[in-house]
Structure 1
């Protein structure tokens, strides 16, 4: 079973699965860093 590497196409621009996963990892990383920074500022 092979999955198509292209998730979807918008205006002739192919969005691939690894691009979606990379973007999600960046967003999750920023959210986690934000909450850690907020927690450390509140703790002091």
Structure 2
């Protein structure tokens, strides 16, 4: 998945684009231990 960083209302946001390019997911990505992998 590709990830993008942006800014909305003065806050950082993370957006992930699905491999087919048809959907975007906003939020945090976690590993199997529940640890945040990427933050805005």
TM-score where L is the length of structure 2: 0.28
More strand by share: 2
TM-score where L is the length of structure 1: 0.28
More helix by share: 1
Structure with higher Rg: it is: 1
